[in-house]
Amino acid sequence: MIPIRTKPNGNNPDGSSSNSNSNTSPPPRRDKQAVHTPSPSRITSKPVPERQLRSPREYQIDQLKRRFSPLRETIDPSSTGGETSLLFSLKPSDPDFPYDLEKLECDLRIPGEYPRQPARLLVRNKDIPRGFAVNIERGWDRLVEERMKGNKGATTLLSVLNALDRGLEGFLAEEKKETVKITVFKDSRHLEGQPSGVVGKEGIEGVSKEKEKEKEKEKEKPRPYIPLEKFTRDQIAEAKARRAQEVRQLEARMSGLPLYHKSSDGVIYTLPMDPKRRSSLPPGLQSVHSVQLVIPLLYPLQPLRVLLNDVDADEAEVVEELFTQKAVEQKQMSLTSHLNYLATNLHALAKQAAQQKQKAVQSAAAAEEEEKKMAADQEAKEAEHVASAVAGERGHVHVIPRPLEWTLVNADGSSESESETDSDDDYELVDGDSGNTSGVTPGTALPTATAERGTAISFPSIELHGIELLQVTLLSLSVKCNRCKTLNDVTSLKSNIEKLASCKKCATSFTIRFRAELVHAHSTRAGFIDLSGCTISDMLPSSFIPTCGRCSTPYPSPGFVSVRGESTTNVCRECHARFTFKLPDVKFLTYSSSQSHLPPTQGPKRKDQKLGLHAGDPLPAKGACAHYKRSYRWFRFSCCNKVYPCDKCHQQAEDHVDEWANRMICGWCSREQNYRVENCAFCGRSVVRKRTGGFWEGGKGTRDKVLMRRGDRRKYRNKKDGNKSNKEYGNQLMFIFVLPFLEAVDILQEQLINSMLTLCKAR
C-alpha cells in the first residue's frame, strides 16, 4: 500500500502550536479530477508591449509620429530632460461636426520626465478666438487628469488625443473664456524735443516730477472681482424643466421653416425672422433674415442671447445687448414670446441703440474737450515756470516774435508754426500782404466702399481693351433652392433693390439683393449678392455698361448683353473709339458672416463635381455616349447635382434612383442652361439629330402621311384601296351612315302624319 499524507491540524507532534508559513498543499486525490474554477470577477487586461513598459515616453512619441506625421519636431535643451514639441494637425473625425473647422493645429509639449509630468497642448489656429482655444487646452488637461487617476498611469497620449477628438464639439460649445491682451508701449520720452530756450537741470527735473505724480493719480483702480452666481438644486431642476418645455414649443413651431437649424448640443438655434418695419431699420440691419438664438443650459437662470446674421457687426452688437437686457427684465416670457418681441420691436431697439451711441459720442467729445483744456492749462503753467527759470538764469536772452509770413494755415482755419506742421499734408501757405493761397489743397474724401458680406461676384480673367470702367446694370442668375435643390432663374436684378421670388417646385420664398461695384483694371469684383433661402449656381446673360477709356463717357443704357465666354466689341458714341471686353470665367466667393465671436454652426459642404469645361469649346464626343449616339448634350440630375450624358450612364455610376434632370450642358458650346427640347439657348445649334427625310424613322421622323414617301407602307394604312382618295372614302362613309338615318326620319314623318289624320277623323 502507498501511504497517504494527512493534512496537518496546525499543531506539532509535541502538541505545540505551529508557526510555519509554508505554502505547501496536499497532492490531489487520484480518484478525483483536478478542475480549476476561475473567479467570476477576474477580467483579462490588454497586454502591454514590452517596449512601452521599458521606455513609455519614446514609445508614445513614435505612436504620434506614425499617426499624425508631425510637421515639425523640436527639442528644448534648456528644459529639464529636454522637452519635445510636436506640431501636427488633428482633423475632426465626426462626419456631422457642426463647426466650420477643417483641422485643429496642435502643439503638443512632452516634458523630459514624462509620464511623471503631464504633457501640455497648445492650440495654434489663428482663425479660432483665444477664448475658445483656452477651452480646448483646459479640456485636454481635464482628460489627462481623469485618465491618469482612472487608469493609474496606464494611458497613452494617442488615447487622450482620440478622446479630445470625440469631445471637441463639447469644448467649442462652452462659454468663451475671458482673456487679457498685454500691449507693450515703447518709452519715447527721451526722443521728445526740449522746450524753446535754455532751462537748467532743476527746472527740467521739477517738471518731470510733476508729470510723474499726475500720471500716478490718473491710473485707473482695478475692477473688483465679481463671483459667479450659484444656484440650488431645486432652482436648477425647475429651470431645466421649463427650458425643455419651451424648447419643445419652439421646435414644434419653427422646425418646418426653411432656415431652421439646430446645433448638435441643442444650445444654438438658427431661426428665420422677418422684421415688422424693415424699412425703418438702419442700412446695416436691413439685410437680416435669420437670427441665432443662444439658449443656455440653465435658462432662465442664465440670460438669453441673440445673434443677428448677415448684418453690420458694429450696429448689431448694441442691439443684441439691449435684447439681452430686455430678456433679463422679462424672465416670465417664453422663448416664442421673446422671438416675437424681437421681430416686432427690432426697429425700436435699433433706434434706442443709435441714441445710446450718440450720447456716448457726445460724452466722449466733452471728455476730450475737458482733457484738451486741462492740457492747455498745464502747458501754460509749464511755460510760466520755464520763463521764470530763463529770466532768473539767462536774463540776457530775448524772445523774438515769429514773422507773420512764416505762419501756416491749416485747411480747417487753425494756424501752426512751420516746425510743428512739417509732417502735415493738407495745409495752405498764406501770403501776409495779398492773402492769396498757394500750395497743396486738401484732398477730397472717397465714397464709402461696399460692405464686404454675402457672396462676391468677380471676373478673374476679364479682358478690358479701351474701357476705363465696366458696370453690371441688370444681373441675371441661376439660383438653387435650399429646400428642394431645384434651379430657378432670377433675371433683371438692379443694384440695391431687393427682389422676392419663389421656387417653381416647392414654392419656398427667397430674396436676392445685388450691390454693384465698378470693374476696372485694378479690381475684377463686380459687387456682392445677399441671398436668403437659396444659393448661386451660375450667371445668366446680363447687361453691362462700359465707360470709354479715351473720353470717359459711359455707353448709353441699356448697354450690352453678355455672358461667360463671349467677347463684345463696339465703338464709343462720343469719340468713336473702339473698345472690347470679354468674360472668360465667372467666380462666386462666399464671405463669412460678421458674427465672428462664436464658431459657426453650419455643417460640412458637399464637394462639387469638377468637369474642366471651358465656355465656347465642345464637349468630348459633342456630348454623345454609347447609349444615345445622336444626343449632343449632358444632363445635370437634381438627385445628386452631378452631370452625366444620359440616365443609363447615371444608373451605372450611382447607387440611387435618378430624378428628372432640369439642367443641361450644350455639346457644342459647353454652356449650362435650363433644359430645352431641341436647340441650345446660347449658340442655337440643335442638340438632337435633325429630320433628314419623310420616312417613319422608328417614331422620330414625320407622321404626316402627305410627306411620307410612296413606298412607305404606313402612308396608306387603314385604306381598303390604295388608289382611292380621301374624298372617295368620305362619300362612301356618307352612304353607309347618313342615308339610313334619312330613311328613318322619312318613316317617322309618315307615321306622324297618319296619326294626325286619324285623330281628325275621330273628331
Exposed, middle or buried by CB within 10 Å (0-12, 13-18, 19+), for 470?
buried
Distance (Å, whole) CA 739 – CA 732? 11
Distance (Å, whole) CA 575 – CA 45? 90
Q: Name the residue with higher pLDDT: 477 or 224.
A: 477
Distance (Å, whole) CA 414 – CA 426? 12
Distance (Å, whole) CA 483 – CA 328? 35
pLDDT of residue 730: 61
Predicted confidence band at 669 (pLDDT cuts at 50, 70, 90)? Answer: very high
Predicted confidence band at 737 (pLDDT cuts at 50, 70, 90)? Answer: low
Apex 273 CA angle, 267 and 277, nearest 5 = 140
Q: Is the pLDDT of residue 660 over 60?
A: yes
Count of beta carbons in the 10 Å neighbourhood of residue 449: 7
| pLDDT tens digits, one per residue of 438-477 | 333 333 333 446 778 889 999 998 999 999 999 999 999 9
pLDDT of residue 557: 86
Residue given cell 452625366 in the structure block:
644
CB 498 within 8 A of CB 511: yes
Distance (Å, whole) CA 235 – CA 511? 44
Phi-psi label, residue 239: left if phi above 0, alpha if psi -120 to 50, beta otherwise: alpha
| pLDDT tens digits, one per residue of 27-36 | 544 444 555 5
Exposed, middle or buried by CB within 10 Å (0-12, 13-18, 19+), for 488?
buried
Q: How far is CA 432 from the centre of its chain?
A: 61
Apex 568 CA angle, 565 and 570, nearest 5 = 175
pLDDT of residue 475: 93
CB 118 within 8 A of CB 144: yes
* Mean pLDDT rounded to a whole number for the chain: 75
Distance (Å, whole) CA 123 – CA 103? 11
Question: In a 3-state reduction of DSSP, which class is residue 468?
Answer: strand
- Residue 387 CB contacts under 8 Å (≥ 6 apart), including other chains: 197
Query: For the residues 207-216, what does the mean pLDDT come to?
Result: 59
Of 90-104, 180-194, 579-593, 664-678, give the range with the top mean pLDDT.
Answer: 664-678
| pLDDT tens digits, one per residue of 540-569 | 999 999 999 888 889 988 889 998 888 899
139: which 3 cell numbers?
Answer: 479640456
Percent of the chain residues past pLDDT 70, beyond the cut: 70
Exposed, middle or buried by CB within 10 Å (0-12, 13-18, 19+), for 604?
middle
Of 461, 438, 244, 443, whose CA–CA distance to 335 is shortest? 244
| pLDDT tens digits, one per residue of 471-527 | 999 999 999 988 888 899 999 999 889 999 999 888 888 899 999 999 998 889 999
CB 495 within 8 A of CB 512: no
Percent of the chain residues past pLDDT 90, beyond the cut: 13
Distance (Å, whole) CA 415 – CA 403? 13
Is the entire prediction scored with pTM above 0.75? no
Phi-psi label, residue 628: left if phi above 0, alpha if psi -120 to 50, beta otherwise: beta
pLDDT of residue 112: 83
pLDDT of residue 436: 41
Q: What share of the chain is helix, strand, coil (3-state, %, to 5)?
A: 30, 20, 50
152-156, 247-251, 408-412, 750-754: least confidently modelled range: 408-412
Residue given cell 455707353 in the structure block:
555
Distance (Å, whole) CA 90 – CA 158? 11
